[in-house]
Structure 1
Amino acid sequence: MTAPILLTMGDPAGVGPEITVKALAERDPTLRRRVAVIGDRDVLVRAAEVSGVDLPVIDVGAEGDGLQVDHVATDGLPGRFGVQDPACGEACFRYISRAVDLALEDPARCIVTAPINKAALNAAGHHYDGHTGMLAHLTGSRSSWMLLASEKLSVLHVSTHVSLREAIGRATTERVLETIRIGNAHLKKMGNPEPRIAVAGINPHCGEGGLFGTEDDEAIAPAVAAARDEGIAVEGPVPADTVYHRAYRGAFDLVIAQYHDQGHIPIKLVAFDTAVNVSLGLPINRCSVDHGTAFDIAGTGKADHGNMLSALDYAEKIISAGR
């Protein structure tokens, strides 16, 4: 396979197949040939029909223009959109496993993932918190990070899919420092010679001198100081109620969020349809749309594919940066 972008179509019953065919139909044929969709041929054909997309579904490497698919068979698919089904969870796992194998063969490739349903994935016996945890396991990585990137605000998370209680425990000096390093390295790779990074505090007003908690003074501030000693342009801890506004206005290139909602809420407020989910710390490249399976509108032709176009554009930038 020569395509540098491997697009997993997501849950067969969700909006993933629909936004996949819509996005690829809008791309120039030359760029379309750079994408191999890993998924189910029949589902993609149905998705094209409900979306009103006149684009043939062809095998990877076949002659002519079309949506190139690397067909991965899964028994028991429901044959309709808008349902949660364990067979779809099994299919998602197989698509992603196939993409990881291909990406490990050629690290220059980039995986782009359409949304999966965590409940369906777990019902199929694959117990992961989502794409990020699954990709870390499949690549044998010790840990990974979730970056949400948009034009005016980008956020990297210290922790994501854990309870708030557990997230506080994970905000150690070592983890925060490693998160700063990972974010700094990624932005440099993407062409920013000196990223400006802010680290959000974990407590209101960064603990107000210990009045509202001591984690900011005891864990986060030492990580920021250590990163500065390494030459990283980083500030913090900065109160979370102001840091995102400052970053959005241009003061910082990246905000380090301490937990899931602290980072996701501001991004989804200002860039709901354009933010791209990027996995860092893995031996492969991967980015994704930043939304779910939307079973309520799957199969209606209403799903907005703008986020998928953004993810494909970011994948092209990652591939170019790696050259």
Structure 2
Amino acid sequence: MSAPNRPIIALAMGDPAGISPELTAKLVALDDVRSKARLVVIGDRRVFDEGARVAAVKPELKTVPPGTNFAIEDGETLFVDLAHLDPAQIERAVASEAGGVFALENYRHALILARDGKADAVCFTPFNKRAMRLARPVYDDEIAFSAVVVGLTTPASEFNVLEKLWNARVTSHIALREVASRLSIERIHRALKLTDQCMRGAGLARPRIAVAGLNPHAGDGGNFGTEEIDIIAPAVAAGQRDGIAAQGPFPADTVFVRARDGAFDAVLTMYHDQGQIAMKLLGFDRGVTLLGGFPFPICTPAHGTAYDIAGRGIASVGATKAAVLLAAEMASRAAGSRSQAAAPGATA
């Protein structure tokens, strides 16, 4: 096993009607995950045990009540049992208020652990947006919810990570008709800076960021729109003046091919599906979603709750494993940076 200073990852169980329980059980049974992180799983032990039965695994966990001042032994995984959902109340493959309440409370608990310094990062298995809104009608997305719980007032954004390729976005969960009006030089410049910052935190010394255009053929010199000329290009230039290795704007229909082939480390897109479609085609069952801009990493698999295969024990744990490993890597690097800054003789 690795050194005892492995980061502590608070892992919240997601939607109980989908594949989240079996993914959680599969994950904690993996030796290569436990060698990189100390896991604290949050949920209901009855739901977890049902997931373990479906997944045909028997992971070893030490169950503790909420509020425990836990110390994790080497190789040990803890389970914080909130005891708040009887699996008999959940119909498999059906989004419900009870399922949304379960997932939100688990996630809130994980965020509070990290906010209060008891965990180094947060991960969660997939949520179902309908269930979340049944439980909390004002629920928009994980970014907004996390910001409220953590008390974040600075910008945050969602990133998709597929092995060495990142996708960042300027706008996210909004109607497509609103995208053009939401774009500004300042907003794109801010997205570039946050992307550069988060990628450096994951170990890329100087990430190469391609910026996608908004319009077909990146506006074709103004024939199909002028956002590229008036807004996007000036924002790219502002990022370059900050020392960011940004280029663009490029046509969105070809930029991911270039990035896949190694020309760029990341693509900054203007709206949600402009990047999501490409990333999920490239690796649906391997992608990770990272919430960047928070004081600690927050990661989850990029795929959804997969109601169509829930309960069959065939869900791939690949993306969930990748999410935890990315969170552990970023948390370890952040801890190393803090130790270096605090060392005697360190300069600002």
CA distance in 2, matches of 1:224, 1:162: 23
Post-superposition shift, 1:23? 1.7
Structure 1 gap segments, 5+ residues each: none
Give yes or no for the alignment of 1:180 onto 2:192: yes
CA distance in 2, matches of 1:80, 1:212: 49
In structure 2, the CA distance between the partners of 1:29 and 1:199, relative to structure 1 (3 Å rule), is closer
Post-superposition shift, 1:164? 0.7
Partner of 2:44: 40
CA distance in 2, matches of 1:273, 1:93: 24
Task: Please list, as runs of the form range in 1=range in 2, the aligned pairs for 1:202-241 lying within 5 A after superposition.
Answer: 202-241=214-253
Give yes or no for the alignment of 1:259 onto 2:263: no
Q: 28-37 vs 111-120, which deviates more?
A: 28-37
Residue 236 of structure 1 aligns to a residue whose secondary structure is strand
RMSD of aligned alpha carbons:
2.2
**Percent identity between the two aligned chains:** 39
Give yes or no for the alignment of 1:84 onto 2:92: no
In structure 2, the CA distance between the partners of 1:211 and 1:124, relative to structure 1 (3 Å rule), is same
Post-superposition shift, 1:65? 6.7
Which amino acid counterpart does residue 101 of structure 1 have in structure 2? I
For the Cα contact (< 8 Å) 2:9–2:119, is it kept in 1?
no
From 109, 129, 148, the equivalent of 1:137 is 148
Partner of 2:55: 51
Offset from partner CA, 1:230-274 (integer Å, 9 cap, x none): 111111111111211111111111110111111101111112121
CA distance in 2, matches of 1:74, 1:126: 20
Partner of 2:128: 117
Task: Please list, as runs of the form range in 1=range in 2, the aligned pairs for 1:169-318 lying within 5 A after superposition.
Answer: 169-318=181-330
Which amino acid counterpart does residue 59 of structure 1 have in structure 2? T
CA distance in 1, matches of 2:151, 2:19: 29
From 70, 73, 79, the equivalent of 1:69 is 79
CA distance in 1, matches of 2:328, 2:36: 12
For the Cα contact (< 8 Å) 1:107–1:283, is it kept in 2?
no
State the TM-score, normalizing by the size of structure 2.
0.86
Offset from partner CA, 1:178-208 (integer Å, 9 cap, x none): 0100111112222222211111000111111
Partner of 2:112: 101
For the Cα contact (< 8 Å) 1:45–1:57, is it kept in 2?
no
Residue 191 of structure 1 aligns to a residue whose secondary structure is coil
Residue 282 of structure 1 aligns to a residue whose secondary structure is coil
Post-superposition shift, 1:22? 0.7
CA distance in 2, matches of 1:29, 1:319: 14
For the Cα contact (< 8 Å) 1:55–1:66, is it kept in 2?
no
For the Cα contact (< 8 Å) 2:198–2:293, is it kept in 1?
no
Residue 179 of structure 2 aligns to a residue whose secondary structure is helix
Offset from partner CA, 1:100-130 (integer Å, 9 cap, x none): 1111112861101111111111111242233
Which amino acid counterpart does residue 69 of structure 1 have in structure 2? F
In structure 2, the CA distance between the partners of 1:225 and 1:140, relative to structure 1 (3 Å rule), is same
CA distance in 1, matches of 2:43, 2:212: 39
